[in-house]
């Protein structure tokens, strides 16, 4: 079934349809013209436009040439014979095959349009033949001449193209020239006619022989040099004509006359034989797609039809020669190769015509190149790579496809197929490697995961401005380094284990809780600590109260220690009435212990009648001194009440400096006595018992009574050097003994005697004939110390048990901490 | 003895003392207001008594009387201490505090010199000599217990050296080892720790003995007071 190509979308549609079944465009234009002939022309032109390239186009459907393109010979023919030159067109049987085409029986327009084609399927336009003949200025070959004459004379009327008929009619009736047809329709018919269909070629092959007979001879061809070409040659410059392409250069062709060369120099570029349409790009060694793409633009709207019948043999030889001269390099082959499958992408929708429709000469060429038509068809399905700078849409691609002759389409396709074959063969030979399992397991993840094929980013860039707007794969004007690119952000994910995470969260909670005040838990009214403290207090209280309440329980008195004995000896060695310096430097909190310790010694001094000089380096010392004297008086029955028995000099200020000063000049530092009742009695250094005391060394004995080891040390350090031969006696608390004893134990002794705590007092008291209060406290002290020791031991054991109890498990030994 | 035998002041003192003692004993049940009251009273009384003593024992006899009632020579002698005393009063004002710096510097300097001199002459030299004299043959021969004294001296010597070694914190850097004391010094320091522990234990025992004695004295006072209230 015949099909018609849609002029809009380019898709094939059945011929009987008026509108395209895809895009709903009209397949058959409407005939508006009143002239029946014009209508016939229009319909015939539209029919030819809608017909497939494979269909032959009748020669009479070629568009009417405008006047400026009408050759003079054509006009002369019209004027001379009264008919169009085309009226002398050889009959149909003498026309080449391509000029006639297969039409439906019902299409009378097509039948009328069937006329001899000006040329065969060798795609050489007649006007080009004319140009050649004009340039060469040689008589045309008899075959050509005959073909021209026979073409114009012997062509039956029904085979005369419409446009030719119109011309004849004008000339005969002197009608004004019809307005030129629209270039589009004319060009469409002309372009359609240029499309060499295989079917038309086959049928035309038989007609070519007839056409050859009708071709005019060389003499006639000479006379048929178009005048318009000759005019241009005369008015042209003396510039040398451009070089003819190879296919035009032929031994058979006559040499170009010089005059004609000059006259042709000024021809329009598109009319010069040096730039024949659709041929030059394909004759040159370097096929450029640009020139190929320029073909549609450079294609004139009105192309002269192939009016000159061409000798079939000559045409074949010429075609073969120029076609054989085609040496398309391999690079150009790639550029010209087209993907057959996707017609939209390709700029040149070269349709691979079936082998059956291809002309014989083309088939011979293909065979010569080693490519059979059948193979060609098979390879057409393979994807052909094309690198086209311009991408055309489907409609323009179809137009280009229709404009170009078939021989142009077939050449790149065949050559591109040869490239596809080896690539396919090479791809078919390769097989994916099979890795062993052990190697597969070592394979990195990146190599296993499918990755997108690498592609150059430059190819994806589409230029948006400038003269190269719309092109793809263009090198950027700015270097990549000058582009403003955002720096990549590398994410670093820290791998944290669960243990580390828990520790980190714990640390964060600790830091967070630092600023938050923790609520103070309300202490219970009665706690375990309070119970323990009360229990201990009660136990100690009972151990102390009971002996005090019951009286003497017979606790053995301590032995008389050497230090106590030395102290006692020192006091025994005092002269009667001797001056004794007493330093009362203990705190009121320890007065109970110190009173009990000192009472016996002070009683001994009082018994000796010693004059007591009381001083103190603490502010409460003078008061303590007074209280001690009164206590001993009350307990022992002594009467030391005024400055005649003792002198309370008071407080020595200045710390160590004051003590040092007192040691150097006691009268100046402590001039007055606090216990003086009168002012006169206060001056004990002048009128009292201290008038013969100039320095501390004048005292008979120095007794330091202290509860602190520091105080005792100060007295020893500051006053000791000033005492010289005066003995120093230390009466200290039990807590000061470890630090004070070295002063007694050392050699030479810095302290001549030492009485320590209640035990020393009890020991000293035991050597005295009268009992003192120390013996009274000794029973309670004797029971209290063991009780305290017992409590300490019990408490320690309980704590040890409580500490190790949670870790102890049945069947296990002692847990390690 | 009954309260009637005591004078009024003694009786009041006894009564006040009795209640204050009980207030202090209340600390056995935890910190409370009675204990704090007793402590505050004690601090106040002690501060007041100290102020009175400072006036009667320092300012009046050593500053006022020489300046007012003394001779010219006495006034000249008292001039420099008086000026330092006045400058020391400026320490109470933050703005004028720098004026008291000379007096403070004098006091600090004199006090440091006195302390250092006394420590060196009164403690370090004599005690060092005493430690050396423990091995004096003349002293040992005098005693009958020669071996015991010699052993005692050795113990004292070792204890003294070990205690001093314990307080030696100089370290030396060794290759591939953290900085630390030599091993022999570490051993001697460990012995010193034992002696220090024994010394601290004896101190604790003495403190406990002293406080126990104080407890006994106060309990005895309470018993006597109670018994004094009971009419015989």
Cβ-based contacts of B104 with chain A (< 8 Å): none
Q: Which residues pair with A472 in a beta bridge?
A: A462
Residues A580 and A605: beta-carbon distance below 8 Å: yes
Query: How confident is the model at residue A706, as a pLDDT?
Result: 94
Residue B121's Cβ-count burial label (10 Å; 0-12, 13-18, 19+) is middle
CA dist., res. A73 & res. A458, Å (int)? 57
- Give CA–CA dist B37/B59, Å, rounded: 31
Spatial separation of the C-alpha atoms in residues A127 and A133, rounded to whole Å: 10
- Nearest-Cα distance to chain B for A656, in Å, is 7
DSSP A299-368: S-SSPPP--S---HHHHHHHHHHHHHT----HHHHHHH---SS-TTT-SS------TTTS-HHHHHHHHH
Taking contacts as CB-CB distances below 8 angstroms, the residues of chain B near A784 are: 212, 215-216
Query: In A, residues 505-534, which contact B (CB 8 Å cutoff)?
Result: 530, 533-534
Q: Say what percent of chain A tops pLDDT 70.
A: 48
Higher pLDDT, A293 or B103: B103
Beta carbons within 10 angstroms of residue A708's beta carbon: 19
Max Cα–Cα distance, chain A, nearest Å: 190
Question: In terms of Cα–Cα distance, which of A786, A208, A201, A181 is closest to A539?
Answer: A786
A451-462 burial: b if 16+ Cβ within 10 Å, else e:
eeeeeeeeeeee
Quick one: average pLDDT of A13-42? 71
Residues from chain A contacting residue B217 (CB–CB below 8 Å): 591-593, 595-596, 777
Reading across the β-sheet that carries A646-651, which strands appear in turn?
A646-651, A611-616, A579-585, A701-706, A728-732, A753-756
Give the 3-state secondary structure of residue A688.
coil
The Cα-based distances of A160 to A64, A85, A88, B85 in angstroms read 12, 10, 9, 148
Confidence of residue A54 (pLDDT cuts 50, 70, 90): very low
Q: Write out the two tokens for B221.
A: 């006072």
User: CB–CB of B192/B171 below 8 Å?
Assistant: no
At A289, the pLDDT band (50, 70, 90 cuts) reads very low
> Is the predicted pLDDT of residue A82 greater than 70, yes or no?
no
Nearest CA among A772, A719, A707, A779 for reference residue A750: A719
Q: With bands split at pLDDT 50, 70 and 90, how would you rate the model's confidence at A184?
A: low
**What is the rounded distance in angstroms from the CA atom of residue A709 to the CA atom of residue A732?**
8
* Residue A244 reports pLDDT greater than 80: no
Query: Which of A223-227, A508-512, A802-806, B192-196 is predicted least confidently?
Result: A223-227
Report the DSSP beta bridge partners of residue A579.
A611
More confident residue, A319 or B97: B97
Q: Which residues contact B230 (CB under 8 A, 6 or more apart)?
A: none
Residue A532 has pLDDT above 50, yes or no: yes
- pLDDT of A534 strictly over 70: yes
Three-point CA angle A295, A301, A305, nearest 5°: 95
Q: Which among B63, B111, B116, B118 is the top mutation candidate for probing chain A, defined by the most A β-carbons within 10 Å of its own β-carbon?
A: B118
Size of chain A in residues:
817
Question: Lowest-pLDDT range, A52-56, A555-559, B71-75?
Answer: A52-56
Confidence band of A604 (pLDDT split at 50, 70, 90) = very high
Q: How far is CA A699 from CA A352, A611, A672, B32, in A?
A: 146, 10, 17, 49
Average pLDDT over chain A reads 69
Quick check: B203 and A735 CB within 8 A? yes
Digit-coded pLDDT (tens) for A341-391: 444 444 444 444 444 555 666 555 545 444 444 444 554 444 455 555 555
Cis upstream peptide for B109 (omega within 30°): no
Interface size, chain A vs chain B, as Cβ–Cβ contacts under 8 Å: 166
- Give the strand pairing for A3-5 and A12-14: antiparallel
- The DSSP code sequence of B23-83 is HHHGGGG-S-HHHHHHHHHHHHHHHHHHHHHHIIIIIIIIIIIIIIIS-HHHHHHHHHHHH
pLDDT on residue A390: 54
> How many angstroms separate the CA atoms of B66 and A176, rounded?
159
State how far the alpha carbon of A302 is from the alpha carbons of A7, A184, A224, A307, A389, in Å. 18, 8, 20, 14, 28
CB nearest to A534's CB, from B29, B205, B223: B29
CB distance B206–A734 less than 8 Å?
yes
DSSP per residue, B185-207: HHHHHHHHHHHHHHHHHHHHHHH
Length of chain B: 232
What is the predicted pLDDT for the residue at A245? Answer: 58
How far is A316 from A760, CA to CA, in rounded Å?
153
Alpha carbons A93 and B19: distance in angstroms, whole number: 158
Distance, in Å, from the CA atom of B77 to the CA atom of A593, rounded to the nearest integer, reads 43
At residue B105, the pLDDT reads: 94
**Average pLDDT value for residue range A659-684:** 80
Of residues B30, B119, B208, nearest to A788 (C-beta): B208
pLDDT value at residue A200: 45
CA distances from A18 to A5, A24, A44, A283, A345 (A): 11, 9, 15, 40, 28
Please state the rounded mean pLDDT for residues A133-150: 50
pLDDT digits 0-9 by tens, A769-787: 887 888 889 989 999 999 9
Is pLDDT larger for residue A632 or for residue A678?
A: A632
Answer yes or no: do B213 and A596 touch at CB < 8 A. yes
Mean pLDDT of A327-353: 45
Query: Could B210 and A707 be called an inter-chain contact, meaning their C-beta atoms sit closer than 8 Å?
Result: yes
Nearest neighbour of A784 by CB, restricted to B119, B212, B218: B212
Residue of A nearest to B106 (CA): A657
**DSSP run (H or E) holding A704:** strand A701-706
Inform me whether the pLDDT recorded for A175 exceeds 80.
no
pLDDT band at A229 (very low <50, low <70, confident <90, very high): low
Residues of chain B contacting A619 with CB distance shorter than 8 Å: 46, 49-50, 53-54
Residue A226 has pLDDT above 70, yes or no: no
CA distance A170 to B44: 149
Query: Closest-CA residue in chain B for A709?
Result: B203
Q: What angle do CA A516, A518, A523 make, to 5 degrees?
A: 165
pLDDT exceeding 90 applies to what percent of chain A? 17
Between A439 and A135, name the one with better pLDDT: A439
| A627/A677 Cα distance (integer angstroms) | 17
Confidence (pLDDT) at B227: 86
- Among A620, A656, A736, the residue with its CB nearest the CB of B46 is A620
Q: Which residues of B178-199 are buried (b: 16+ CB within 10 A; e: fewer)?
A: eeebeeebeebbebbeebbeee
Q: Are A154 and A83 spatial neighbours (Cβ–Cβ below 8 Å)?
A: no
Identify the residue with better confidence: A128 or B73: B73
Residues 770-789 of A with CB under 8 A from B: 776-777, 780-781, 784-785, 788
The tens digit of pLDDT for each residue in A30-51 reads 765 444 444 444 444 444 444 4
CA distance B185 to chain A (A): 25
Chain A positions in Cβ-Cβ contact with residue B219 (cut-off 8 Å): 541, 544-545, 548, 780
> Chain A: residue nearest B77 by CA?
A668
In contact, A410 and A358? CB cutoff 8 Å: yes
pLDDT at A409: 59
Give the pLDDT score at A512: 85
The SS3 call for residue A578 is coil
Q: A619, B114: Cβ pair inside 8 Å?
A: no
For residue A584, pLDDT over 90 is answered with yes
**Which one of B195, B210, B211 would you mutate to disrupt binding with A, by most A Cβ within 10 Å of its Cβ?**
B210
* Structure confidence at residue A416 as a pLDDT band (50, 70, 90): very low
Chain A from 643 to 672: CB within 8 A of any B CB? 650-653, 655-657, 660, 670-672
User: How many other CB atoms are there within 10 angstroms of residue B71's CB atom?
Assistant: 9
Tell me if A544 and B219 make a contact (CB, 8 A cut-off). Answer: yes
Least confident span in A20-24, A374-378, A450-454? A374-378
pLDDT at A150: 46
Cα of B175 to nearest chain A Cα, Å: 33
Written as tens digits, the pLDDT of chain B (232 aa) is 566 677 888 888 888 999 999 999 998 888 889 999 999 999 999 899 889 988 888 888 888 988 899 899 989 989 998 999 999 999 999 999 999 999 999 999 999 999 999 999 999 999 988 888 888 877 666 666 788 888 888 898 899 899 999 998 888 787 887 888 888 898 999 999 999 999 999 999 999 999 999 999 999 999 888 888 877 6
Q: Are strands A579-585 and A701-706 parallel, antiparallel or unpaired?
A: parallel
- CB of A716 within 8 A of CB of A583? no
User: Between residues A344 and A550, which one has the greater pLDDT?
Assistant: A550
């Amino acid at each position: 079934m015949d099909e018609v190509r849609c002029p809009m979308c380019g898709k094939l549609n059945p011929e009987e349809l008026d509108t395209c079944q895809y895009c709903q465009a009209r397949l058959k234009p409407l005939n508006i013209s009143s002239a029946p002939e014009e209508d016939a022309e229009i319909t015939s032109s539209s029919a030819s436009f809608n017909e497939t390239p494979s269909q032959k186009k009748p020669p009479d459907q070629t568009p009417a040439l405008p006047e400026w393109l009408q050759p003079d010979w054509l006009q002369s023919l019209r004027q001379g014979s009264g008919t169009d030159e085309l009226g002398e067109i050889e009959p149909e049987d003498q026309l080449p095959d391509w000029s006639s085409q297969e039409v439906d029986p019902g299409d009378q327009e097509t039948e009328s349009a069937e006329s001899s084609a000006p040329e065969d399927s060798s795609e050489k336009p007649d006007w080009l033949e004319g140009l050649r003949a004009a340039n060469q200025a040689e008589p045309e070959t008899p075959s050509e001449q005959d073909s021209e004459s026979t073409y114009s004379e012997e062509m039956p009327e029904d085979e005369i193209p419409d446009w030719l008929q119109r011309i004849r009619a004008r000339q005969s009736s002197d009608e004004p020239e019809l307005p030129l047809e629209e270039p589009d329709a004319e060009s469409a018919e002309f372009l359609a006619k240029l499309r060499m269909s295989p079917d038309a070629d086959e049928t035309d092959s038989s007609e070519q022989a007839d056409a050859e007979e009708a071709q005019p001879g060389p003499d006639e061809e000479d006379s048929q040099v178009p005048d318009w070409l000759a005019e241009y040659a005369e008015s042209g410059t003396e510039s040398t004509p451009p070089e003819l392409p190879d296919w035009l250069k032929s031994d058979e062709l006559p040499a170009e006359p010089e005059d004609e060369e000059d006259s042709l120099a000024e021809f329009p570029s598109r009319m010069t034989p040096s730039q024949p349409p659709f041929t030059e790009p394909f004759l040159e060694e370097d096929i450029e797609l640009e020139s190929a793409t320029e073909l549609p633009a450079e294609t004139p709207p009105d192309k002269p039809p192939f009016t000159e019948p061409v000798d079939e043999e000559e045409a074949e030889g010429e075609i073969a020669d120029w076609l054989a001269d085609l040496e398309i390099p391999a690079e150009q082959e790639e550029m010209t190769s087209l993907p057959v499958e996707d017609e939209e992408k390709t700029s040149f929708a070269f349709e691979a015509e079936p082998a059956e429709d291809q002309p014989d000469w083309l088939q011979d060429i293909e065979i010569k190149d080693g490519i059979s038509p059948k193979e060609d068809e098979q390879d057409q399905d393979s994807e052909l790579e094309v690198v086209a700078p311009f991408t055309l849409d489907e409609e323009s691609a179809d137009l280009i496809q229709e404009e170009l002759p078939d021989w142009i389409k077939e050449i790149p396709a065949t050559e591109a197929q040869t490239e596809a074959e080896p690539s396919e063969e090479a791809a078919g030979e390769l097989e994916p490697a099979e890795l062993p399992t052990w190697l597969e397991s070592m394979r990195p993840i990146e190599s296993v995961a499918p990755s997108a094929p690498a592609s150059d980013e430059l190819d994806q860039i589409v230029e948006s401005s400038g003269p190269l707007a719309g092109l793809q794969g263009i090198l950027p004007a700015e270097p990549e380094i000058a582009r403003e690119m955002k720096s990549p952000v590398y994410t670093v994910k820290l791998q944290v284990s669960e243990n580390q995470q828990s520790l980190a969260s714990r640390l964060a909670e600790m830091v967070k809780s630092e600023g938050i005040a923790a609520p103070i838990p309300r202490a219970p009214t009665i706690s375990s600590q309070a119970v323990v403290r009360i229990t201990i207090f009660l136990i100690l209280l009972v151990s102390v109260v009971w002996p005090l309440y019951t009286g003497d329980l017979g606790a053995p008195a301590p032995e008389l220690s050497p230090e106590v004995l030395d102290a006692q000896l020192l006091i025994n060695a005092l002269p009667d009435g001797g001056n004794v310096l007493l330093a009362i430097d203990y705190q009121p909190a320890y007065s109970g212990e110190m009173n009990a310790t000192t009472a016996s010694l002070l009683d001994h001094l009082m018994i000796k009648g010693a004059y007591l000089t009381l001083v103190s380096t603490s502010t409460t010392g003078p008061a303590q001194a007074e209280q001690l004297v009164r206590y001993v008086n009350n307990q022992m029955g002594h009467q030391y009440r005024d400055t005649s028995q003792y002198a309370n000099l008071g407080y020595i200020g200045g710390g160590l400096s004051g003590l040092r000063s007192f040691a150097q000049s006691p009268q100046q530092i402590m001039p007055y006595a606090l216990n003086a009742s009168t002012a006169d009695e206060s001056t004990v250094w002048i009128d009292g018992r201290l008038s013969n005391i100039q320095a501390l060394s004048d005292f008979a004995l120095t007794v330091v009574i202290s509860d602190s080891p520091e105080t005792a040390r100060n007295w020893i350090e500051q006053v000791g050097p000033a005492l010289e031969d005066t003995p120093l006696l230390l009466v200290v608390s039990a807590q000061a003994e470890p630090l004070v004893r070295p002063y007694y134990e050392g050699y030479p002794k810095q302290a001549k005697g030492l009485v320590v705590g209640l035990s020393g007092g009890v020991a000293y008291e035991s050597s005295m004939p009268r009992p003192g209060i120390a013996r009274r406290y000794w029973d309670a002290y004797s029971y209290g110390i063991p009780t305290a020791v017992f409590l300490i031991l019990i408490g320690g054991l309980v704590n040890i048990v409580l500490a190790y109890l949670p870790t102890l498990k049945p069947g296990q030994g002692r847990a390690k901490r | 003895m009954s309260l009637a035998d005591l004078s009024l002041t003694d009786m009041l003192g006894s009564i006040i003392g009795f209640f204050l003692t009980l207030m202090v004993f209340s600390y056995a049940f935890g910190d409370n207001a009675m204990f704090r009251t007793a402590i505050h009273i004690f601090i106040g009384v002690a501060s007041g008594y100290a102020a009175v003593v400072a006036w009667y024992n320092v300012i009046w006899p050593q500053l006022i009387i020489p300046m007012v009632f003394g001779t010219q020579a006495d006034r000249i002698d008292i001039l420099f201490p008086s000026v330092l005393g006045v400058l020391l009063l400026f320490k109470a004002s933050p703005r004028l505090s720098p004026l008291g710096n000379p007096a403070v510097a004098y006091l600090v300097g004199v006090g440091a010199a006195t302390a250092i001199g006394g420590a060196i002459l009164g403690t370090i030299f004599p005690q060092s000599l005493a430690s050396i004299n423990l091995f004096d043959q003349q002293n040992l021969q005098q005693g009958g217990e020669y071996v015991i004294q010699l052993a005692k001296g050795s113990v004292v010597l070792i204890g003294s050296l070990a205690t001093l070694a314990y307080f030696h914190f100089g370290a030396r850097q060794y290759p591939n080892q953290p900085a630390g004391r030599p091993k022999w010094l570490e051993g001697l320091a460990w012995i010193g720790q034992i002696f220090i522990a024994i010394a601290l234990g004896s101190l604790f025992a003495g403190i406990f003995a002293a406080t126990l004695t104080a407890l006994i004295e106060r309990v005895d006072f309470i018993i006597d007071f109670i018994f004094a209230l009971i009419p015989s």
